[in-house]
Amino acid sequence: MDDVTNALRWDPRADSTNVWVTMLGGTAIMKGSVHSLNDRWWCEQIVKRVRGVTSISNRIEVRLTIGDYRTDGTLLRVIGELFEAMAGMPPERPHVTVRNGCVTLRGSVRRRYQKQLAEQIVRRIAGVRSITTFIAIDGDQPLQQDLKPQLETELSRRLPECSIRVHVDDARIVLRGTVRTCAERDDVIDLAWCAPGVASVHDRIVVRP
């Protein structure tokens, strides 16, 4: 637990002053409060990189300050403007609804990074309490026939310490094997999603510190 707490206190990207963590086996249970959704997200990313943490239960609350409060109408306008201005977004922007600071995104994108970009934009806006995403990934081209060996080579090159097996079934990728941290598991999944034509990635990876 000390390693997790020290990691949170050391990293300046998240204000974890009012966050505490308890360990139940390899599960890090995160509680407390932060002032922004971005802080909540960063606290989880920091803990994912700590050896010994095999899963995370993020129960951190977002408690807005008076200065960060935005009306639903203001949030809707700001999100719409940022979606239009941000490079990398699909031509058909996600549909946005806001209720009491809680944002819901709906629609479809061609690649997963576009979905992640939309979530990142919203997450960094002061006044947002939560994000719920219903964005489908349609894929933008057929899956490559030799995807399995290509992905395995890329995984070996970027994450040589991980032992991952890849199974490709139509536009679905299934990942099995072991990694050392939760962050490494995220890296493996991100690499799989980079392949053109992928519609879904199924995670069967085990974290073994």
Q: Report how far apart, in Å, the C-alpha atoms of 137 and of each of 88, 97, 141, 199 are.
A: 15, 20, 12, 6
Average pLDDT over residues 112-136: 96
- Contact indicator for 108, 138 with CB cutoff of 8 Å: yes
CATH number, domain of 119, equals 3.30.1340
Is the residue at 131 inside a domain?
Answer: yes
Of the three residues 97, 119, 137, the one that is the final residue of a domain is 137
In the chain, the number of structural domains is: 3
- pLDDT reported for residue 2: 85
Claim to verify: residue 58 and residue 71 sit in the same structural domain: no
CATH number, domain of 180, equals 3.30.1340.30
For the cut 90, the answer to whether the pLDDT of residue 209 exceeds it is: no
Q: Which of 106, 187, 194 is CA-nearest to residue 150?
A: 194
- Contact indicator for 79, 114 with CB cutoff of 8 Å: no
Asked which of 10-19, 102-111, 119-128, 164-173 is least confident by mean pLDDT, the reply is 164-173
Report the alpha-carbon distance of residue 95 to residue 108 in Å, rounded: 9
- Contact indicator for 90, 110 with CB cutoff of 8 Å: yes
Q: Which of 136, 144, 37 is CA-nearest to residue 90?
A: 136
Report the alpha-carbon distance of residue 68 to residue 146 in Å, rounded: 49
Claim to verify: residue 80 and residue 125 sit in the same structural domain: yes
Is the residue at 142 inside a domain?
Answer: no
Claim to verify: residue 176 and residue 200 sit in the same structural domain: yes
- Structural domain boundaries enclosing 76: 66-137
For the cut 80, the answer to whether the pLDDT of residue 143 exceeds it is: no
Question: How sure is the predictor about 138, in pLDDT bands with cuts at 50, 70 and 90?
Answer: confident
Claim to verify: residue 96 and residue 124 sit in the same structural domain: yes
State the virtual CA torsion across 129, 134, 139, 145 in degrees, nearest 10: 100
Is the residue at 160 inside a domain?
Answer: yes
- Contact indicator for 46, 10 with CB cutoff of 8 Å: no
